[in-house]
Amino acid sequence: MLKVKIMAIGNSMGIVLPKEALTKLHAEKGDVLYLIDSPEGLTLTPYQQDIDTQMQAAEKVMKKYRNALHELAK
């Protein structure tokens, strides 16, 4: 668990993420992160919430064109 402190940044509030957190998120200066609300609480992620929908579409395409993709991978 990493601990962060909320602080004033201009007229807003913010947190500074430790280097270890940025490394785990594969995030760097200028990247966009998303806060996702779930039953377990808030999750900070570099991925958009609709990633499940996108992955389902990708899996459907990969299944349909499995043979072609296999040939292209050679």
Please state the domain extents for the chain. 6-73
Phi, psi of 65 (to 5 degrees): -110, 30
Is there a contact between 49 and 42 (Cβ–Cβ < 8 Å)? no
**Tens-digit pLDDT profile for residues 16-61:** 999 999 999 999 999 999 888 888 899 898 877 677 777 788 889 9
Q: Summarize the confidence of residues 7-12 as an average pLDDT.
A: 95
